[in-house]
Amino acid sequence: MSAIADTPAAARPRRRKPIDGWRWAGRGFLVLMLLYTAVPMIWMLLTSIKSGFAAMQFPPQWWPSEPTLASYQKLLDPQNSVGQDFLRFFWNSLFVSSVTTVLSVAVAVPAAYAFSRFHFPGRRFLFFSVLLRNMFPAVIFLVPLFILMRFLGLVNTHGSLILTYMTFGLPLAIWLLKGFYDNIPIQLEQAARIDGATRFRAFLVIVMPLSMPGIIATAIYSFIGAWNEYIYAYTFLTRNDQLTLPVGIQRFFSENTTDFPGLMAASFMMSVPVVVLFLVLQRYFVRALTEGAVKH
């Protein structure tokens, strides 16, 4: 941009009014979006460092007058019953989400590759039936899946959640990854096979590294889906020691009192893994989304 702006010819369009109007409208929209996403997060953070009393004051204390980390201490202290629960829920969530992610990627990668490269009878039908699941809201499957899980003896196990999250996450994961494989020229694999690799090795050595952005995008997508899921976790699990975070956090609500700073601290802690994941892998993720969408 700067190189273009330096030339006198490019200076002219800058003065045109309509373009500037749109640019400012765009900026305004972005600011609104930023407020929309950031304000709840900031409010959550601010509330989590207030005392229980300060959190309930009206008019609200915008800035905590006596900030305290008591809520965090309580949550992270394994001696304390609240902390014990919280850490267990956290671990449960981490376990369920990680296993879901690993298994989803393990299934989605070969499936997407097959849909992209092989022509077999029923390929189109299968591909669209994979997507069919996404045309219904997830709640519709709650009761049938519960019956199924009971039949399989999986109620009250993390297995039931992992299976369910995979069912819901895989269609989009396969669709996303197929786009990536479609964009990797088939001649690369052919070259590798002629150069002496088996089909599988060509896939492993040449295609896999090139589809890494797609795989990472898929992994993040599966992880977040599993990490945030509430309704199935709420239905399939009843034993306290198995709950995942979204369900477990409910414990901060009770009939008479609600520990708002504790709830907010727990919510903030819950967002940490996702944020960390995003910060670390963000570069790939952004690249991934454009690379899968654009046909070269």
Partner 1 sequence: MAQVVLRDLVKTYGPIYAVDHVSIEIDDGEFVALVGPSGCGKTTTLNLVAGLIPLSGGDIYIGDRLVNDLDPKDRDIAMVFQNYALYPNKTVFKNLAFPLQMRRLPRADIEAKVLAAAKVLDITHLLERRPRELSGGQQQRVALGRALVRDPRAFLMDEPLSNLDAKLRVQMRSEIKRFHQDLRATVIYVTHDQLEAVTMADKMAVMSGGVLQQYDSPAEVFAHPKNTFVAGFVGSPAMSLIPLEAGTDAGAATLRSPDGWSLPLSPENARRVARATTAKVILGARHSTLKVHKSAVPGAVAGKVYTVEPTGDITFAQVYLGGHIVIVSLEPQVPIVPDEPVWVEFDQDKLHLFDGETQQALPRN
Instruction: Select the residue interacting with partner 1 from 76, 102, 142, 210 (CB under 8 A).
Output: 210
Select the span of 44-52, 195-203, 255-263, 264-272 touching partner 1 (CB under 8 A). Answer: 195-203
Which residue's entry shows tokens 């829920």?
Answer: 89
Instruction: Select the residue interacting with partner 1 from 106, 188, 231, 293 (CB under 8 A).
Output: 188
**Which residue, 151, 136, 168, 153, is CA-closest to 232?**
168
Select the span of 136-144, 190-198, 231-239, 271-279 touching partner 1 (CB under 8 A). Answer: 190-198
Select the span of 137-145, 202-210, 246-254, 258-266 touching partner 1 (CB under 8 A). Answer: 202-210
The SS3 assignment for 5 reads helix
Q: How far apart are CA 77 and CA 104, in angstroms?
A: 33
CB 213 → partner 1: shortest distance, Å? 12
Task: Look up residue 116 and give its two tokens.
Answer: 């992209």
The DSSP result for 166-215, as a single string, is HHHHHHHHHHHHHHHHHHS-HHHHHHHHHTT--HHHHIIIIIHHHTHHHH
CB 121 → partner 1: shortest distance, Å? 13
Q: Cα 202 to chain center, whole Å? A: 30
**Polymer length of the chain:** 296
- Give the phi and the psi of residue 230 in degrees, each rounded to 5: -120, -50
The SS3 assignment for 255 reads coil
Site membership for partner 1, residue 196 (CB under 8 A): yes
Instruction: Select the residue interacting with partner 1 from 10, 25, 31, 194 (CB under 8 A).
Output: 194
Stretch 60-99 residues interacting with partner 1 (CB under 8 A): none
Instruction: Select the residue interacting with partner 1 from 192, 220, 245, 247 (CB under 8 A).
Output: 192
Select the span of 48-56, 182-190, 251-259, 266-274 touching partner 1 (CB under 8 A). Answer: 182-190
Q: Where does this chain bind partner 1 (CB under 8 A)? A: 185, 187-188, 190-199, 201, 206, 209-210
